[in-house]
Structure 1
């Protein structure tokens, strides 16, 4: 069955594919929360997982976002959008810090999924790296879920209760599916918009990496966290080349 929306033919398979990819990318945060509840991760293990996730994100941002964006919109626009993304995410990070506690952590979890999910949905059927991007973001979200669970439990807010953590994370996990479908129905074939969104997202990711994730993961200066990032990057690179 083919649906004609805003002049584009959207196949049922593309809708299912978009939902599957964005569901994996989004609900793995919930999986990370569940793992953190069931497994008593040590502080060292949480930092190593955070570092591993950072390595995954570096690979995703470089090979699945910046490189793809340059192909679609050229070098200059990619650089401008990358810088704009870093500035935008610094503002959003300021809002998250202002909220503080569990609400701020959830805002941080949700804000980076919007541009990535839009790009995944828009690229389904036209860009081979859509699956690789969803897979890498999904893996990283598991580690983010583990770390966020521990942060929310330690925060002074209503979200430090385990039941509330699960409910809030489940709600946040729906965002990628919605944004993926928006990208599929309203941005499919718009290569310029896709390229700009990818570059914006990459800039935001690099901001978060260097402002929050990397300093947090390495503040105790242990070799395990460093090699976690190295392994994360190697896996991310392999997925990008093999799947993208």
Structure 2
């Protein structure tokens, strides 16, 4: 099998998690109401844990290997500042797609890095794909709920849109595979840029939304999300 087909299939597996998360959010409301609230917050927290595991176990370690410390710190800070700028702009616009924009802002750079890492022969490519899939489900879940609450779009139209968004991942991965295979410094910069942005996103948006008074499933969901990353790192990353 040609390598580009392999990376396309791996990236498609990660991308399909976008419509899966949206489909879960489109399901009929769960009764009683407290169970729906706890489940929704737990899914969001799980995504936060998965995002943190991607930063801690893959993106930052691999990114810092390819750049000196000063450049690593610079790209990391720039990522956080750019995500802040995007968040501020979306808040001023009061758009219904802020969660969707946040998902794309970390999904696409990670997918490009995935393609480039796969081309380099590193076994962390599969781990990164798994972590992208884990984080896409709750992010898409949250984005669907936001769009549904703030627009009059039908469920079927939103699901079609999210399915199309899932195809952007394989496209970005192929771009990384063909264009960035010999550009290790650029790949490292993308990883660290995404890491700074993801960390901003987790503490600005995901963690506050996950909290519920006198409920303990959401923080345990965050632990479970990070645990999935740890297990993947141990099995695939060779830890």
The two structures share one fold, judged by TM-score above 0.5: yes
Task: Give distance in 1, aligned partners of 2:61 and 2:214.
Answer: 31
Task: Give distance in 2, aligned partners of 1:192 and 1:178.
Answer: 21
Return the match for 2:142 from 147, 150, 171: 147
Corresponding residue pairs, total: 231
Distance change >3 Å, CA 70–CA 221, structure 1 → 2: farther
**1:213-241 deviations in Å (ceiling 9; x for gaps):** 01110154521111111111122112123
* Aligned-residue RMSD, C-alpha: 1.7
Distance change >3 Å, CA 39–CA 125, structure 1 → 2: farther
Distance change >3 Å, CA 226–CA 16, structure 1 → 2: same
Cross-structure match for 1:51: 45
SS for the counterpart of 1:102 is coil
Query: Does the 8 Å contact 1:106/1:169 carry over to 2?
Result: no
SS for the counterpart of 1:189 is coil
Return the match for 2:3 from 14, 22, 28: 14
Structure 2 residue 88 is the aligned partner of structure 1 residue 94 = yes
Task: Give distance in 1, aligned partners of 2:63 and 2:178.
Answer: 20
Task: Give distance in 2, aligned partners of 1:98 and 1:183.
Answer: 33
Q: Which runs of 5+ in 1 are unaligned?
A: 1-11
Cross-structure match for 2:233: 240
Query: Does the 8 Å contact 1:60/1:240 carry over to 2?
Result: no
What's the CA shift for 1:102? 3.1
**1:3-41 deviations in Å (ceiling 9; x for gaps):** xxxxxxxxx622112211221222201011112223535
Task: Give distance in 2, aligned partners of 1:202 and 1:27.
Answer: 22
Task: Give distance in 2, aligned partners of 1:95 and 1:179.
Answer: 24
Cross-structure match for 2:164: 171
Task: Give distance in 2, aligned partners of 1:22 and 1:138.
Answer: 9
Task: Give distance in 2, aligned partners of 1:163 and 1:193.
Answer: 38
What's the CA shift for 1:74? 2.9
Task: Give distance in 2, aligned partners of 1:237 and 1:138.
Answer: 15
What's the CA shift for 1:77? 1.6
Query: Does the 8 Å contact 1:95/1:104 carry over to 2?
Result: no
Cross-structure match for 1:119: 113
| TM-score under structure 1 length normalisation | 0.88
**1:92-122 deviations in Å (ceiling 9; x for gaps):** 2233334434333322222221210110011
Query: Does the 8 Å contact 1:92/1:111 carry over to 2?
Result: no
Distance change >3 Å, CA 97–CA 14, structure 1 → 2: farther
| TM-score under structure 2 length normalisation | 0.90
Distance change >3 Å, CA 221–CA 95, structure 1 → 2: farther
Matches within 5 A, 1:27-46: 27-38=16-27, 40-41=29-30, 42-46=36-40
Matches within 5 A, 1:101-112: 101-112=95-106
Q: Which runs of 5+ in 2 are unaligned?
A: 31-35
Cross-structure match for 1:6: none
SS for the counterpart of 1:240 is helix
Moved more, 196-205 or 73-82: 73-82
